């Protein structure tokens, strides 16, 4: 498949073809996403939880994100690679955000960065896009702010809150975002936002009216504990894997593994010499 660029994404959006995006956190998971022909790969800071075992996304450092981003990049050929700017690495000033984004691109090999936040982040996003850094916005449920949101909860359920999301989306579009992630917002709100914007919306828990969808790979494969309501579990791979591991363990205990076909032979002549 030809390399996906911002122009490709624009074409898909204009054509009304849903844009596909999935997370990856290392070389093998990145390779899988690319092989599946996903339009975009996201090195999401959800990897803090699903790959590193942190209790939330806010603890991960920039160096940790860069380490994972580079690994995903090594497995990515055609998919458009976006990486999350971690909590605390872009909020202080546009300068801080530029420094972080440049590292994500130069060291992390990301082609674009994602940052959470609404109109309060618009001046920062404008500075990034002005210097040629593609930015994917992220509004609605913003997990990096879960402490102030009081947990992982649907956003924009009242008319007033929904209007706030629309204002945020518009501000992000005006700031130059190439697309906006809408997380955990009621379907009618997400559909309305999608209809009034002229850039794609990428939904997660935002309904089918968005211009595209994103999921966390570990969630949709059944590899990470509790899955949010909005995620469809396509496979229960954890059960599959634990089953395989148990079989291996039982085989070792019983002596069924390794069998003859897993062993290296020795030429008979050498064996005779060896045994003499």
205 touches Na ion (CB under 5 A): no
With CB atoms as reference, the residue minimizing the distance to ligand KIV is: 44
**Least distance from C-beta 104 to Na ion, angstroms?**
13
What are phi and psi for residue 142, nearest 5 degrees?
-115, 100
Q: At what angle do helices 94-106 and 122-130 cross, to 10 degrees?
A: 50
Place of tokens 């003499």: 276
Q: 199 and 179 in contact (C-beta within 8 Å)?
A: yes
Binding-site member from 24, 113, 181, 223 for ligand KIV (CB under 6 A): 181
- Is 116 catalytic? The answer is no
133 touches ligand KIV (CB under 6 A): no
Binding track over 183-202 against ligand KIV, x by CB under 6 A: x-------------------
Q: 48 and 85 in contact (C-beta within 8 Å)?
A: no
Residues in contact with ligand KIV, counted by CB under 6 A, come to a total of 11
86 touches ligand KIV (CB under 6 A): no
Alpha helices in 180-228 (DSSP H): 187-196, 217-220
Binding-site member from 204, 220, 221, 223 for ligand KIV (CB under 6 A): 204
Q: 122 and 172 in contact (C-beta within 8 Å)?
A: yes
Catalytic, out of 91, 116, 167, 183: 183
How far from 53 is each of 23, 48, 232, 252, CA to CA, in Å? Answer: 16, 6, 22, 29
The three-state secondary structure class of 66 is: helix
Interacting residues with Na ion between 75 and 104 (CB under 5 A): 84
* CB-nearer residue toward ligand KIV: 51 or 175: 51
44 touches ligand KIV (CB under 6 A): yes
Place of tokens 């590292």: 103
Interacting span for ligand KIV (CB under 6 A) from 40-48, 153-161, 227-235, 263-271: 40-48
Residues that bind Na ion (CB under 5 A): 44-45, 84
Active site residues: 183
């Amino acid at each position: 498949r030809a390399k996906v660029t911002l122009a490709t994404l624009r074409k898909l959006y204009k054509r009304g073809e849903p844009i596909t995006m999935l997370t990856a956190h290392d070389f093998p998971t990145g390779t899988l996403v690319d092989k599946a022909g996903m339009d975009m790969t996201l090195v999401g800071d959800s990897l803090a939880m699903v790959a590193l075992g942190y209790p939330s996304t806010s603890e991960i450092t920039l160096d940790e994100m860069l380490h994972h981003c580079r690994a995903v990049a090594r497995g990515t050929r055609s998919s458009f690679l976006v990486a999350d700017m971690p909590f605390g690495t872009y909020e202080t000033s546009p300068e801080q955000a530029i420094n972080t984004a440049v590292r994500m691109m130069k060291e992390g090999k990301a082609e674009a960065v994602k940052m959470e936040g609404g109109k309060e982040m618009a001046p920062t996003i404008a500075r990034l896009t002005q210097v040629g850094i593609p930015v994917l916005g992220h509004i609605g449920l913003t997990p990096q702010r879960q402490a102030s949101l009081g947990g992982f909860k649907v956003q924009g359920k009242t008319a007033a809150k929904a209007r706030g999301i629309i204002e945020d989306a518009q501000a992000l579009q005006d700031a130059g975002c190439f697309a906006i992630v809408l997380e955990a917002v009621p379907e009618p709100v997400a559909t309305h936002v999608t209809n009034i914007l002229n850039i794609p919306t990428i939904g997660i828990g935002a309904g089918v009216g968005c211009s595209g969808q994103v999921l966390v790979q570990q969630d949709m494969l059944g590899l990470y504990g509790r899955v949010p309501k909005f995620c469809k579990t396509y496979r229960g791979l954890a059960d599959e894997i634990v089953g395989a591991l148990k079989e291996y363990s039982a085989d070792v205990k019983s002596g069924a593994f390794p069998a003859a076909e897993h062993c290296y032979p020795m030429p008979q002549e050498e064996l005779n010499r060896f045994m003499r």
